[in-house]
Every structure is written in structure tokens, then in C-alpha cells.
């Protein structure tokens, strides 16, 4: 049976596609498609060539392992080839693998070494007389890129073997990868600098290791795990793979603690499921597990095929990335008002579930990733992580694709959507009114440092909101005994206590009321600054941008947050209702310009003061325009030390900062008042 013209055409197309994706993956560290899609195309070509051998050519991707070295790096020839592994995706394929091994070796049971399949960059380390002399990427399996200088910056790689009599020559194979936490830190840093972010830890590790300047590599936290060896001379090898791994560990190489040995196919599948259950909680990415016949003598008997050993196989996990089409992009409003673009997807099975939506994080990310409605995209889902759009497949963009337009009005409450130049996230300015932010706004309003309504916690707020009893903070003051007593786990006594706490909260302070409103960027300290500067709420409500920026520590960003919040009529209406409910506060003594003795001065309180609490001391300082910080730095003006002062006092003395006691603090405050 011979291949048809269509078979020849399809094989040629697959050759071109797979070679292009090899170049993107191995050379440019910029893959366009997920591994699962590459595996599918590769498996299709393997099957075509198996069925029609005349389709196989010497330059077929099935005969290659990776890609040639980049010209920027010198070539490095591996003494023993760095082969790839055949993949299996089902239990049946693993059963067939084990059966072939047993039949070839004519035995009933095989012991296997089992380990995770790291999703990183395979490397070869060369040691002569125990000293690291070279390191290279896998490349095409025979020749890799010499990245010795960069590998020397990876702290986990020993520069000298821990051995009194090391091997004359040793090739150690392993994986350079980036831990998930280090990947997140790197991408955050890249965003801050306005530089390219990485799609996943594997790309980040590969891009970091192949820097032309090793100083850049040194700044990135790369990890390494050994998983095998190539040529070894001047050393007697143990009898098993697992024993050789223990020898590598004794020489100083890091190994995964997830290694194990098992007998037969039952042991293999049990290990596969155990590691699969741990996959999402591991500190690094893996995409499967690797099984190797443990006996080195049996490995030698089994030998190799053209591109892979017969004694080993990779058992892949279900893909965490897949390709699908973006049907639309709309936005969701978070509990803090954050506006998040969300891609509505053609349903796709990924990470064990069917995914129909994926986050695009923010408008800047949509632009950076260049996602259009109608695009084919790569979607990633790992465990319980919200699915996200990783990248676009540019070649598949249709002529009808259209760009996303960020709305200017909140789809939930109709308030304006605003974006500060200081952050990437756009936000709804609805605040007290927006139902998407309702629970968060209510909890903040009732919190201890705001209106301090004891007993109005998260579970109770959930019930009140779900029963439509609370829409805005003003509704708190309309709650009745009957309404509260009808709630789950809320008896008459609890209801009475809550009503008493609500009534007590009406005796507020102006700073706590301003803070309770939940204006973005207005924390406790800023609320106090605003109170002491304007004196009354009415003055604050009438303030313009110039008035606001005249307040100490209030810049343009905070001023704009206040103005945007107060520009929404419904926010002002909620404030009116709160005041009508009876919330009041003592008259605030407005700071005059001559009360600048403590203005701009930073205090740190430490130890126990004999005549006042920390909060009382803080109020006295802030009442005269001073600031209270929680930590000592060179910007600290005074440290107020009481009994049992600890490390803050020591640091103040070390930095030469003025240290005063309670009496000296009171004297400073009195002096400030007399200057008024």
C-alpha cells in the first residue's frame, strides 16, 4: 500500500509546521502553540511515516530532537547524544511499553526508576577531574550551545564535585528550570521596567540561560535538578539507575525528592496518579513522569531507536494549555471595583475541565498580548488557578477579527470607569453604590478602624446582602430587630448586641468616617490629614484639586481618587443618608499654618508608655500635624520610647535618631499648641 498525493501533501505540511515550531521553541524561546498541540501534530506525522515509510526523510522532524545552536553561541559536541523520549498519553500505551520490555528481556516483572518530567531546559554539564569545565544546551541532541558562563551563575550546580577521587570525565544531564514563585517575581519586575514578560516558567528559564550577558542570568533565580548522565570515565558505575542517582547526590547534585522505584505496570500507574495529585502544589512545573528500566545492564540490552531509548518513556499529564477561539471580550467588576477584561471562549477541554472563560487581567495586558475578538489563542489552566489567555497564534487571525474597546461606564452600576496613571487596573468609581463592590464596601465601613460596628462580620454581611437587606452602608442604620432575629444563627440577644453596636457607631470621628467611605488610596493617615486640614466634611466635599493637593502628603493621584469618588452623585447621596441617620462627630480643630512645628515630622512609638496608650499618643501627634510610622528609618525624626522598648530603640540609637520619652513628647506637643 502506497501513500496518496494527499498523504504526501499532508506530510510535507507537517514537516514545515513542526520544523517552524521547533525553531520557535528551541531557538527563539517563543513558542506559538501549546505542547499538547505540538504533540498532536508530531503524533500525526509519526503515524503517517509508520504507515507509509516512503514519507520519511532524513530531515523529517521525527528524526530530530531539537534545533541547531544559535550563531551567537559557540557549538558544543556532546560525547554521548542527548536523546529525547517517546511519549505516552494513556494507561494502555504504558501497558504496551511494559509488555514490550518484558518480552524483549524474556522476564515476568521489571523494576523501574520513576521521576517527574520537569518542564525546563535540558542541559549537559561536563566535569574533568571533578571540576566543571563546560555546560551546554541539548540543541539537536548531538551538538548544543555552549552556555558555560551562564551555568556557572546557577547556584545549585556544583563547580567542583564533592569527591576525594572524582571521575576523570563525567557528563551530567539535568534540567534548568525556574520555580513558580521566582517566575512570578521575574514577571512582576519585567512589568515594572516595561520589558517583555514570559508566558511560562519554562520560557523564562530558557530565556535567562541563553542570555549573551551572564550578569543578566545571575540576576534571575534559576534552579537545577540532575536526572541522568552521559559518558563517564575513571569511575565504576553502580548496577542500577537509582543507585547512580544516589551517587550523583553524593557528588553534590540536587535531585528531586519525588523519585521512586516500582515493580511492573501497576507500580508505574500508581506513581503516575500520585504525582498527578501533587502536580498543582509543587513549586515547579512538570508535564508528566518518566519511567526508566532501573537495571543498567537491561538498559544496555534494550538499546535505542533513532531518537529515543527503548528502555524509557515519558507518561504525559493532560494538557494544561490548549488552543481555542475568542468569541468575545467583556469585563467583570471585582469586589474592589477592579475592571477585568474576560475572554469568552469557544469551549475547550484543558486542565481536566471544559473552559469557556479566561481572564485577560487588564487593558494593558490585552494590548501587550495583542488579543483580538476572533483570534485563536493559547489558554492555560493549572489546578484551581483561573484560566488565562497566555498568547495569540498570529497565523490564525481572521480578517474579521476586531480589537477590544475598554468600556468607560461600569456595566453593573453605570458609574464612570477610571484609571490612575500609577497602576494598570481600571476601576469602577461607584464605590458605596456599586453592587459588585457591595460586600467589600460594607465590611470596610464596619471595620474596627472605620465605624467599628462590632458583630457585623463577613458571614452576617453575606446573609444581609443575599436577602436584599443591605445595598449601601446607609442601610445598616435602617436594620430592625425583626430583620436581624430572622437570620441564621442570630438570636434575640445577638440581634440586640448588633443594634447597640450600630447605634454606638453613630458617635464617630471625622477621620474614621472619611476612612470608612472606602475612597481609593485614602487610608487612615490620609483621612486624618484631610480632617485636620479641612476641619469639616462640608469643606472637604467642596474642595477642588488645588485645595486637595495643598494637604500634607496628598498628591495628584490621591486628589484624583477623591474627586472621582465624589463626582458620582450616588456616592454623595449615600453620604447624605448616613448623616441623616444620625452619624456625628466632635468638632475638629483645624490646623493653622503656625501649627507646623510637628508638621512633616515622623514619630515611631516603641515600648509601653506609662500614662497613655499607643492610640492616644498617636492621636496627640497627628492632632498637631505629625506622622506616626511603624518602623524606624533614616527618615524618622523622633522615637518615643517607653518601658521594655526593643529593636526599634536599638535601631534608632544605631542611626543616631533622637529618642524621647513620654514627658518629652507631651512637652513637644504643648510647645506646638502654644505656637498657635
Give which of 507, 498, 553 is closest to 527, Cα–Cα: 553
Cα 255 from Cα 263, distance rounded (Å): 21
Q: What are phi and psi of 507, to 5 degrees?
A: -85, 85
For residue 335, the 8-state DSSP code is T
SS3 state at 116: strand
For 602, the grid coordinates are 515622623
Cell 535618631, located at residue: 657
* Mode of pairing for the β-strands spanning 353-359 and 372-373: unpaired
Residue 440 to residues 9, 199, 432: CA-CA distances in angstroms? 59, 32, 10
Helix or strand holding residue 23 (H, E): none
Q: Is position 648 annotated as part of the catalytic site?
A: no
- Say how many C-beta atoms besides its own lie within 10 A of residue 81's C-beta: 16
For 27, the grid coordinates are 531557538
Helices 569-580 + 556-567 axis angle, to 10 = 80
Catalytic residue among 16, 117, 193, 528: 117
Contacts of 499-508 spanning 24+ positions with Cβ under 8 A: 501/453, 501/454, 501/455, 501/456, 502/453, 502/456, 502/476, 502/477, 505/446, 505/451, 505/452, 505/453, 505/583, 506/477, 506/581, 506/582, 506/583, 506/584, 507/584, 507/585, 508/451, 508/583, 508/584, 508/585
Question: Do the beta carbons of residue 169 and residue 234 sit within 8 Å?
Answer: yes
Cα 461 from Cα 139, distance rounded (Å): 59
Catalytic residues: 117
Amino acid at each position: 500500500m502506497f501513500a496518496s498525493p494527499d498523504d504526501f501533501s499532508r506530510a510535507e505540511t507537517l514537516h514545515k509546521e513542526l520544523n517552524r515550531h521547533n525553531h520557535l521553541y528551541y531557538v527563539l524561546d517563543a513558542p506559538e502553540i501549546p505542547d499538547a498541540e505540538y504533540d498532536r501534530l508530531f503524533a500525526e506525522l509519526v503515524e503517517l511515516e509508520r504507515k507509509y515509510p516512503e514519507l520519511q526523510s532524513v530531515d523529517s522532524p521525527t528524526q530530530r530532537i531539537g534545533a541547531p545552536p544559535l550563531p551567537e553561541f559557540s557549538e558544543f559536541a556532546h560525547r554521548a547524544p542527548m536523546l529525547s523520549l517517546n511519549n505516552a498519553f494513556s494507561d494502555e500505551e504504558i501497558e504496551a511499553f511494559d509488555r514490550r520490555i518484558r518480552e524483549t528481556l524474556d522476564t515476568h516483572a521489571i523494576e523501574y526508576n520513576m521521576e517527574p518530567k520537569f518542564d525546563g531546559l535540558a542541559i549537559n554539564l561536563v566535569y574533568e577531574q571533578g571540576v566543571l569545565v563546560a555546560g551546554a544546551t541539548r540543541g539537536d541532541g548531538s551538538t548544543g550551545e555552549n552556555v558555560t558562563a551562564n551555568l556557572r551563575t546557577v547556584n545549585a550546580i556544583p563547580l567542583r564535585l564533592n569527591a576525594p577521587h572524582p571521575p576523570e570525565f563525567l557528563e551530567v544531564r539535568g534540567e534548568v528550570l525556574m520555580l513558580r514563585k521566582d517566575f512570578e517575581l521575574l514577571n512582576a519586575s519585567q512589568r515594572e521596567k516595561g520589558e517583555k514578560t514570559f508566558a511560562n516558567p519554562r520560557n523564562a528559564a530558557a530565556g535567562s540561560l541563553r542570555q549573551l550577558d551572564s550578569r543578566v542570568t545571575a540576576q534571575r533565580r534559576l534552579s537545577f535538578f540532575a536526572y541522568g548522565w552521559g559518558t563517564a570515565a575513571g569511575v565504576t558505575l553502580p548496577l542500577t539507575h537509582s543507585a547512580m542517582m544516589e551517587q550523583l547526590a553524593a557528588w553534590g547534585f540536587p535531585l528531586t525528592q519525588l523519585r521512586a522505584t516500582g515493580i511492573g505496570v501497576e507500580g508505574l500507574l500508581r506513581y503516575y496518579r500520585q504525582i498527578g495529585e501533587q502536580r498543582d502544589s509543587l513549586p515547579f512545573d512538570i508535564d508528566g513522569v518518566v519511567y526508566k528500566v532501573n537495571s543498567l545492564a537491561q538498559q544496555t540490552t534494550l538499546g535505542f531507536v533513532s531518537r529515543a531509548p527503548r528502555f524509557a518513556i515519558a507518561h504525559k499529564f493532560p494538557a494544561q494549555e490548549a488552543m481555542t477561539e475568542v468569541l468575545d471580550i467583556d469585563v467583570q467588576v471585582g469586589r474592589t471595583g477592579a475592571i477585568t477584561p474576560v475572554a469568552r471562549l469557544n469551549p475547550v477541554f484543558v486542565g481536566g475541565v471544559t473552559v469557556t472563560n479566561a481572564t485577560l487581567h487588564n487593558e494593558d495586558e490585552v494590548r501587550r498580548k495583542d488579543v483580538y475578538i476572533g483570534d485563536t489563542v493559547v489558554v492555560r489552566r493549572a489546578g484551581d488557578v483561573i484560566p488565562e489567555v497566555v498568547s495569540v497564534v498570529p497565523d490564525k487571525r481572521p480578517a474579521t477579527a476586531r480589537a477590544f474597546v475598554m468600556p468607560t461606564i461600569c456595566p453593573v452600576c453605570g458609574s464612570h470607569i477610571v484609571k490612575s496613571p500609577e497602576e494598570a487596573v481600571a476601576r469602577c468609581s461607584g464605590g458605596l453604590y456599586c453592587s459588585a463592590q457591595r460586600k467589600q464596601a460594607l465590611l470596610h465601613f464596619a471595620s474596627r478602624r472605620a465605624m467599628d460596628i462590632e458583630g457585623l462580620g463577613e458571614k452576617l454581611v453575606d446573609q444581609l446582602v443575599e436577602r436584599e437587606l443591605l445595598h449601601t452602608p446607609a442601610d445598616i442604620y435602617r436594620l430592625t430587630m425583626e430583620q436581624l432575629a430572622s437570620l441564621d444563627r442570630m438570636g434575640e440577644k445577638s440581634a440586640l448586641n448588633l443594634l447597640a453596636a450600630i447605634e454606638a457607631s453613630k458617635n464617630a470621628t471625622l477621620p474614621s468616617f472619611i476612612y470608612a467611605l472606602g475612597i481609593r488610596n485614602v487610608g487612615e493617615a490620609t483621612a486624618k490629614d484631610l480632617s485636620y486640614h479641612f476641619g469639616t466634611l462640608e469643606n472637604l466635599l467642596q474642595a477642588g484639586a488645588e485645595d486637595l493637593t495643598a494637604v500634607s502628603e496628598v498628591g495628584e493621584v490621591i486628589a484624583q481618587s477623591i474627586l472621582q469618588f465624589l463626582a458620582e452623585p450616588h456616592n454623595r447621596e449615600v453620604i447624605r443618608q448616613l448623616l441623616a441617620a444620625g452619624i456625628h462627630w466632635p468638632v475638629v480643630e483645624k490646623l493653622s499654618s503656625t501649627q507646623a512645628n510637628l508638621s512633616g515630622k515622623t514619630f515611631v512609638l516603641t515600648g509601653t508608655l506609662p500614662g497613655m496608650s499607643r492610640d492616644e499618643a498617636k492621636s496627640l501627634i497627628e492632632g498637631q500635624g505629625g506622622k506616626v510610622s511603624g518602623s524606624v528609618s533614616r527618615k524618622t525624626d523622633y522615637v518615643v520610647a517607653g518601658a521594655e522598648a526593643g529593636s526599634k530603640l536599638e535601631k534608632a540609637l544605631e542611626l543616631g535618631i533622637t529618642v524621647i520619652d513620654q514627658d518629652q513628647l507631651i512637652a513637644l506637643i504643648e510647645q506646638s499648641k502654644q505656637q498657635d
